[in-house]
Amino acid sequence: MSSCSIAQRVTGPKVRPKEIENEIDERGAFIRQPNRFTTPFGDGEEDLKAENGKYRLFWAKGCHWSNRASIVRDLLGLEDAIGINLVGHSKENRSYGWEFVYNEDRKDPVLGAQYLSEFYYNADPDYAGRCTVPALVDVTTKRVVNNDYHRLTNYFETAFAPYQKEDAPDLYPEELREQIDDFNNWLFPNVNNGTYRMMFAQSIIAYQEAFEDFYNALDTIEERLSKNRFLFGDYVTDSDVRLFVTLARFDTHYYRNLGPIKKRIVDYENIWGYCRDLYEIQAFRNNTYFRDIAAPQSDNTAFFQDFNSRFVDQIDYEGFWSTPQNRKELSKTPEEKFKR
């Protein structure tokens, strides 16, 4: 029997809600839906508990919110502790949201579901929002227990410490946590969600506000990276993961849905060098699917197609992102990118 909830068995999969119909305010600005499953991992009586092999992470190649979780899982060596699988979209079932399109029979080989939404409705049959990734699912109950992209990587970095590899990097140093949290809270509206604020804006005023916030933030980051190899100095932190996944998608995908852009990422000397420095790290490289991110938006070739859609098979993303840079010169530990 399918892992669907009773509600699903009666009605079938539900049509995915649309952002422009449900997440736009009276000013035409995009207001992202809140995360539904935010119970933290911790020592409290009601907190989730980190357990080896109990959870399965679902993410999507094009989604930077979930890409950050897949990178951190890889960096920390949590492959055995937390299962993983990719979701995507099929042409015929796109309206139902994320589907296990990469698996045989389009079903997750461990939990047997066809759609990610099944785990959401198992946890809350009345859930009416978009079923998003990342989604951390309890394999014993087949329910989503956490989809809070704001904090999920932090839980991997702290609560799952007993299951990390022996030489795992410290991406969330205790002495920097307050600063990292503050930076991440600034990064979210201005950069991470800033691209979506532009793409989903339904008024020119809302678009212009998001545009200015995004490029002002990049100017601030460009200056910061003129003095620091990474955002907090010599070592990669949680914040670098969050910034990288957005930057990696701007020139390859996000630009398609914007008006005239001020600059590409490659036009920022320090930011572009920083991106390539991070891309040298296997966990970043292995979890970044440029060809999927840059893939054509439509199979209809009768209309004009954007640059990446026309040349996706001819662009050497690997070579381009591996172009040498001299970021080591900013570091006191040039051969070591991580605090252990």
Catalytic residues: 63, 196
The dihedrals phi and psi of 161, each to the nearest 5 degrees, come to -55, -40
Sheet with 135-138: list strands edge to edge.
82-87, 55-60, 135-138, 143-146
Q: Which residue has the tokens 């999920």?
A: 152
Which residues make Cβ contacts (< 8 Å) with residue 152, sequence separation at least 6?
69, 134, 136, 146
**Cα(173)–Cα(53) distance, rounded to whole angstroms?**
25
Helix, strand or coil for residue 64?
A: helix
**Cα(62)–Cα(101) distance, rounded to whole angstroms?**
14
- Find out whether 98 is annotated in a ligand binding site: yes
Contact 70, 63 (CB under 8 A): no
- Find out whether 275 is annotated in a ligand binding site: no
- Find out whether 133 is annotated in a ligand binding site: yes
- Find out whether 101 is annotated in a ligand binding site: no
Helix, strand or coil for residue 146?
A: strand
First to last CA, the chain: 46
- Find out whether 131 is annotated in a ligand binding site: yes
* Beta bridge partner(s), residue 83: 56
Contact 177, 184 (CB under 8 A): no
Contact 16, 96 (CB under 8 A): yes
Q: Which residue has the tokens 């990049």?
A: 218
Feature table: binding site for glutathione: 98, 130-133
Q: Which residues are annotated as a binding site?
A: 98, 130-133
